Structure 1
């Protein structure tokens, strides 16, 4: 009879402790198990086994309960966003009539990526911006300045697309995108495309693994202005290779050495008919000249990256040539260096100073002639945005908390031709991702 009573108690304890969602029951079970050990009914080894079985059973039941409550479609959605607070000081000199400014700005973006099935995803994101009126909205900025006298500011549709990734025999990966999307091309700098620019149209991306090398091809067709007799558009193609020649090496520098090279061709169609052709609304003194109404941009890019003492190091070269602008003012180049990666907090009381992955810094030199690129889509920060500029940029970023960084960037630029307008810009940023 004693043996039967013993096992009845064990089964009762197991059922009570394994029931999901009862924290009070777990504490009562611990008390009961301790009493059973004290009375000699169970040994410490048996109690340990029971506690482990209870924990495993509870975890399994909780997972089953979560699956029953939350539908498959909801579990396949991933939400993410970021917020950036910026203090910006701009000092300007020259004949452009631009005033010095000191302003505070915010960028907020939030969106989701939903898995429809194994081959189809949907992506959407809203973001702050200057206006919801397409005639005055800046396509290369999601900043909102604190200049609205506390009037509520709107959100804009920043991304909305479908991504189809079929399984094609003999192809490592292929993705087809339609809608409003992030830049589908591999880029190393904002020389040609500002980082906030979204593309409207269709794109195809194909990758092929070949041992230590990966070949990739990106292409797309994008609409600029359809309210014209002939639609203004961009037709683009890019081919490149990413290569790790010494992936099996023991030496850290060689083992992490990665070479990437690509060349892109961007053909602008009928931009002379587009309402904004070559006139960046935020670049009043750096616009394309009247002769640049057509753009056939050849854009080769190169990057060499590795690690030194655990520190990521890379250097890059980005070049653009507008073959449709004749032989004058049609080239641009940016060359830069990046050190480190601000991934984990640079300091904590438990781990001390983190110099391995708690910071990053960089520098670049840029010269972008007036007709080298379509000025409405190039870097909006450098020398006030647009083309016809030359100068330098320095920046440093520190990871202060998990998923949160602070940084400073100093840009010094001057106008190449015309009145020698000069601008130096200091940006102090606090960025948090969630």
Structure 2
């Protein structure tokens, strides 16, 4: 029989290629493809070689030599280190209505170091990064006194415990990467969620359905006292997203979702009220309002979507967008009027006259070239978009920290391009220009890098990233 005829060949191959399991298995697969072996015979030989390789790996690990994978403990099936190092040059400038200007030029760097593990249907993701602030993993060159050469601290970026409940459901807890399909207009890419996340992926014919649900504590540690008034309420973010990805034709695909999000501390005891400043405020450190971290009356519907058109030679054209409506925007507006009127009648009148703006939207185009399924040396991409963010539409604490300087009540255009110098080395060039949307109100930020009530803002970045 063919199996007995091939046993001497298999013995010779496995003896001469003891340290090359992949090559042996490739040879067996080739023999199956040519009809020399049946699939069952091929599986039998491959299984034997895989068992030998596992024994060899164990022996090497006991001898203190690398065995082809990171070993954490016998209980862990797989473990892998990952991360990236980035160096960046950045220039940003702002100008207010009184023509006061501020330029900021700096070199920056970033380090992310992570470890992913899996054990059966459980998995983990632990990552450290620089930057104490949630919306930035960056550190600035020379960030200290002359000659101090201050060493930077690494912080916990992610501490995730996951459970693959079924083929279509995952549950994650801890400090978790943002699970939502969204854009930087709404959520800065460096932000994480803290709490519980559920992810659904289900194939229905040629449609890939997905759902992402998050219960994140924005401000935790609830405290109740029966002998004082120093109670502390929690503030949770509840997000519920459903969407689909599907092929319209062989060359056109689409992806879209609908997301409902709510901040739970709506007028809770001790919660502050969002109150924007006025557009006439000028000069360094000008007032942008009060309660700028407040998340009262934010209950949004977000609709992100993208269409991708495949072309020849790995080229792809993408049209993408995002739309957000704050369903409680009118309440947020009226609360601001009341808070301003409590300060002065003229302040309340100015806020009322400025009007309500509780919508945000983004539209853009992307062009890219990628030959294989994974990005390789020589691949590139470029994305151009315009966004418009109303002052009562979004939480000022979550919007992108770069191209709108962590601000709402801004509109502008962004161009981002990247080129792979190597499979794991990426060169990025980015530029953005923004202006204040409603001139009667401040360009509100709780953490802007420019200390002006900006009317015009520009940002230019060039960076190189090494991934490992």
**Normalised by the size of structure 2, how large is the TM-score?**
0.69
Correspondences of 1:169-318 after superposition (within 5 Å) = 172-187=167-182, 189-227=183-221, 229-246=232-249, 255-270=250-265, 273=271, 293-309=296-312, 310-318=314-322
Alpha-carbon distance change, 86 to 420 in structure 1, aligned in 2, over 3 angstroms: closer
* 8 Å Cα contact 1:288/1:370 also seen in 2: no
Shift in Å, 1:65: 2.1
Deviates more, 1:138-147 or 1:283-292: 283-292
Where does residue 334 of structure 1 map in the other structure? 362
Shift in Å, 1:271: 5.9
- Distance in 2 separating the partners of 1:55 and 1:421: 68
How many residue pairs match? The answer is 357
Where does residue 429 of structure 2 map in the other structure? 408
Structure 1: tracts of 5 or more residues without a match: 1-45, 130-136, 247-254, 345-353
- Distance in 1 separating the partners of 2:370 and 2:287: 35
- Distance in 1 separating the partners of 2:207 and 2:97: 51
Alpha-carbon distance change, 54 to 268 in structure 1, aligned in 2, over 3 angstroms: same
Shift in Å, 1:91: 2.2
Alpha-carbon distance change, 386 to 328 in structure 1, aligned in 2, over 3 angstroms: same
**Could you say what secondary structure the match of 2:102 adopts?**
coil
- Distance in 2 separating the partners of 1:157 and 1:355: 30
- Distance in 1 separating the partners of 2:275 and 2:170: 31
- Distance in 2 separating the partners of 1:395 and 1:284: 32
Correspondences of 1:45-64 after superposition (within 5 Å) = 53-56=15-18, 63-64=54-55
- Distance in 1 separating the partners of 2:467 and 2:272: 36
Shift in Å, 1:265: 0.8
- Distance in 1 separating the partners of 2:128 and 2:303: 32
- For residues 92-150 of structure 1, the C-alpha deviation after alignment (integer angstroms, 9 at most, x for no partner) is 222485620110111110111111x2211011100000xxxxxxx42211111113231
Where does residue 80 of structure 2 map in the other structure? 78
Question: Are positions 1:379 and 2:400 aligned together?
Answer: yes
Deviates more, 1:192-201 or 1:334-343: 334-343
* 8 Å Cα contact 2:376/2:420 also seen in 1: no
Alpha-carbon distance change, 278 to 212 in structure 1, aligned in 2, over 3 angstroms: farther
- Distance in 2 separating the partners of 1:142 and 1:374: 20
- Distance in 2 separating the partners of 1:295 and 1:66: 55
Q: Which has the larger radius of gyration?
A: 1
Structure 2: tracts of 5 or more residues without a match: 1-7, 22-50, 63-73, 222-230, 278-284, 331-354, 440-452
Aligned pair partner of 2:127 in 125, 128, 135: 125
Aligned pair partner of 1:93 in 77, 95, 116: 95
- For residues 271-319 of structure 1, the C-alpha deviation after alignment (integer angstroms, 9 at most, x for no partner) is 662799999xx99859987997220011011111131112122111101
